[in-house]
Amino acid sequence: MERPCVIIGIHGLANKPPVDEKTRWWKAAIVEGLTRNMGLADPAPAFEFVYWADLRYDAPLSEDLNREPFLPYEGVGPLPGGEEAPATTAKDILAPVYAGIDKVEEATGVTLVDDLILEHRFDDLWHYHAEQHFARQVRARLIERLRAFRDHRILLVAHSMGSVIAYDVLRLLEREEPSLRVDHLVTAAAPLSLAKVKLKFEAEHGALRVPNNVSAWTNLADGKDVVAIMGAVSADYGMSDFGVRMTDRRVVNLYRRPNGEANHHKSYGYLRTPEFSRIAYAYVTDRRRATCTST
């Protein structure tokens, strides 16, 4: 019997606009990509959003302080794919340097470089690791949503710090509720290769690998995204006990702020890439398709 489909998204670090607005913008970016890249006339994804910024911030980001609203990309037609990305980027140059630092930090357990990065660049992730109550609250929101849609085919999309939360939750659920499964996990702009993050994972869950409750895992990274400087994430995570491996995909994130400045880390840019649209296509309907497509 055909199961209904749902896309569940979880955001990354920093304060966010109000939940209704942020939910609407994520869905708009997904729909824009499906329309332009896949030719869907009227995409209708069932979309759920896991919002946790209110657990860290007293009030949502106001309109006058939000420098990065959702803005449709100019023009028409498909957006550039990863095959059109520059052959060499800062990520390609810095990844080997960080890899050397990463090996030393993992081997010694002394993560001075990562501590500096987390405290000053990823403040929310620092608190997630340091404050158990906050971590439990954030995880609970994703767990609740996954449980609510356990009878669906789930595409779970985790951006930035959201990828850390998603990994933790999936490794917990594979032990506590092995019948709850995610069809496809997509991580985007994920700091999953930071030595500090990997050491935390290993301490709580054991060896780094694809969660056993995931049927596929794709990691999207723009070569100019500063959070993705660690290189290919798949090199650090082994296959699941069922033989599922993670796949790295290079993408082109074209998001620009209203003033024209590029932000290659922004979630909206990742959600409308052709690479994500091809995955999401199997989880949406349009006027020509009665149900989501089986995979």
Backbone angles phi, psi at 89, to 5 degrees: -130, 175
pTM of the model: 0.89
Nearest Cα residue to 266 out of 279, 280, 253, 252: 253
pLDDT exceeds cutoff 90 at 105: no
Backbone angles phi, psi at 222, to 5 degrees: -85, 135
Q: Which fold has domain 5-59+74-283?
A: Rossmann fold (3.40.50)
pLDDT exceeds cutoff 70 at 264: yes
User: Do β-strands 184-188 and 47-50 pair in parallel, antiparallel, or remain unpaired?
Assistant: unpaired
Which of the residue ranges 76-80, 111-115, 122-126 has the most confident prediction, judged by mean pLDDT?
76-80
pLDDT exceeds cutoff 50 at 51: yes
C-alpha span between 22 and 61 (Å, rounded): 10
Residue with more model confidence, 16 or 108: 16
Can you point out the beta strands (E) in 74-229?
Answer: 153-159, 184-188, 217-222
Residue 149's pLDDT is: 98
What is the DSSP annotation of 75-104?
SSSPPP-GGGS-SS-HHHHHHHHHHHHHHH
For the stretch 154-203, pLDDT in tens is: 999 999 999 999 999 999 999 999 999 999 999 999 999 888 899 999 99
pLDDT grade, residue 83 (50/70/90)?
A: confident
**Least reliable range by pLDDT among 43-52, 87-96, 182-191:** 87-96
Residue 229's pLDDT is: 64
For the stretch 218-246, pLDDT in tens is: 999 998 888 876 668 999 999 999 999 99
Q: Which helix (H) or strand (E) holds 248?
A: strand 246-251
pLDDT grade, residue 114 (50/70/90)?
A: very low
pLDDT exceeds cutoff 50 at 4: yes
Average pLDDT of the chain is 87
pLDDT exceeds cutoff 50 at 268: yes
